[in-house]
């Protein structure tokens, strides 16, 4: 496993993180998978209060007991559960964030969160107020650092100007190159780290039946899938090729992998035992697909 510093913080994270969203709190195998990830050098765990109505955070909290000090724990805020217990509304107010962190701390069974992230965000949010909430929590010692999880270029640019965030989590893959076209260089120049999710495009680059994806046609999806499979037998799997593609950009500090089996975990955790993409391989992957840019979600 390789490790890196997240932005301008003192957080040392594994370059492969475990995305816990797909882990089922009711399945004992989920806790076992978290333990196996830690055993293989993964120290960065990502969850959110939204996942399973908070039960995902509870599961993670139970899984990390006795291991908390060695881990970088990330969770998210901004989706407020309604009275019906099923639906959510967006709330980026300071009051809500200050209240929500207490509930996440309780569920996670910890007295601090390493990385607290705004779970989305719009340009219409009270951004200064939202940032103030994170700064207050940082001063109180309830969070060590903060960031945002967003794909919206205008939101990201506003947070880069106004905040002291250390990271941006965003979707990025061979099929979704929009961050590279508009955001990655700017984020890197600001000294902020990118944490990438969706590196295998919901499985479409590996084993799922091709279908249109975001702004990509079926032909483009099939082409991308064929490209990553081209390098099988060169010391890496298709999934590992897809992850190396994402990590090739210097702005990307880590990939958060959503795994559901030990096989997938081992494939991700042992990425750095496989050959890095050469510049020629990277260019071959990139050159066959036209760049795509954000039209919605500004």
Is residue 279 domain-resident? no
Give the total number of structural domains in the chain.
1
Q: Is 214 helix (H, G, I), strand (E, B) or coil?
A: coil
CATH assignment of the domain containing 200: 3.20.20.100
Give per-residue pLDDT as tens, 135-184. 999 999 999 999 999 988 899 999 999 999 999 999 999 888 877 678 89
Of the listed ranges 81-90, 139-148, 193-202, the least confidently predicted one is 81-90
Mean pLDDT confidence for 56-64: 91
Flag whether pLDDT at 239 surpasses 70: yes
Bridge partners, residue 194, by sequence: 168, 252
Joined together, the tokens standing for residue 19 give: 């995305």
Say what the pLDDT of residue 83 is.
Answer: 75
Flag whether pLDDT at 293 surpasses 80: no
Say what the pLDDT of residue 193 is.
Answer: 96
Q: CA 256 to CA 31: how far, in whole Å?
A: 17
Flag whether pLDDT at 295 surpasses 70: no
Q: Which domain holds residue 9?
A: 3-204+246-274
Q: CA 206 to CA 213: how far, in whole Å?
A: 14
Is residue 130 domain-resident? yes
pLDDT, the chain, mean: 90
Say what the pLDDT of residue 214 is.
Answer: 80
Report the candidate in 119, 125, 112 with the shortest Cα–Cα distance to residue 80: 119
Say what the pLDDT of residue 275 is.
Answer: 92
Say what the pLDDT of residue 151 is.
Answer: 86
Say what the pLDDT of residue 298 is.
Answer: 63
Give per-residue pLDDT as tens, 16-57. 999 988 888 888 888 999 999 999 999 999 998 888 777 889
Q: CA 294 to CA 298: how far, in whole Å?
A: 7
Is residue 253 domain-resident? yes
Say what the pLDDT of residue 228 is.
Answer: 87
- The total of other beta-carbon atoms located within 10 Å of residue 166's CB is 22
Q: CA 10 to CA 28: how far, in whole Å?
A: 33
Give per-residue pLDDT as tens, 278-288. 888 888 888 87
- Greater pLDDT, 75 or 291: 75
The catalytic residue among 44, 51, 231, 245 is: 51
Residues of the chain above pLDDT 90, percent: 59
- Strand 193-197 to 88-90 pairing: unpaired
Is 51 a catalytic site residue?
yes
Which residue carries 């965000």 as its tokens?
121
Is residue 76 domain-resident? yes
Say what the pLDDT of residue 127 is.
Answer: 94
Mean pLDDT confidence for 199-217: 86
Say what the pLDDT of residue 231 is.
Answer: 76
């Amino acid at each position: 496993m390789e490790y890196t510093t997240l932005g301008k913080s003192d957080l040392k994270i594994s370059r492969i993180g475990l995305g816990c969203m797909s882990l089922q709190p009711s399945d004992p195998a989920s806790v076992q998978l978290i333990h196996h990830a830690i055993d293989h050098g993964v120290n960065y765990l990502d969850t959110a209060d939204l996942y399973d109505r908070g039960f995902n955070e509870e599961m993670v909290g139970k899984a990390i007991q006795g291991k908390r000090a060695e881990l970088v724990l990330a969770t998210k805020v901004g989706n407020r559960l309604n009275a019906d217990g099923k639906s959510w509304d967006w709330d980026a107010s300071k009051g809500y964030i200050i209240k929500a962190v207490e509930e996440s701390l309780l569920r996670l069974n910890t007295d601090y969160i390493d990385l607290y992230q705004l779970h989305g965000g719009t340009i219409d949010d009270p951004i200064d107020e939202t940032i103030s909430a994170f700064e207050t929590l940082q001063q109180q010692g309830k969070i060590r650092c903060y960031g945002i999880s967003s794909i919206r270029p205008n939101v990201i640019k506003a947070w880069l100007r106004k905040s002291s965030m250390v990271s941006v989590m965003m979707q990025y893959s061979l099929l979704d190159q929009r961050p590279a076209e508009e955001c990655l260089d700017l984020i890197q120049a600001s000294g902020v780290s990118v944490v990438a999710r969706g590196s295998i495009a919901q499985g479409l680059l590996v084993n799922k039946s091709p279908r249109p994806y975001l702004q990509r046609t079926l032909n483009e999806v099939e082409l991308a899938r064929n490209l990553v499979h081209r390098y099988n037998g060169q010391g890496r799997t298709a999934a590992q090729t897809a992850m190396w593609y994402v990590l090739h950009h210097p702005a990307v500090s880590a990939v958060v992998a959503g795994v559901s089996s030990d096989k997938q975990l081992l494939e991700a955790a042992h990425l750095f035992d496989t050959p890095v993409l050469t510049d020629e391989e990277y260019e071959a992957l990139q050159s066959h697909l036209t760049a795509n840019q954000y039209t919605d979600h500004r």
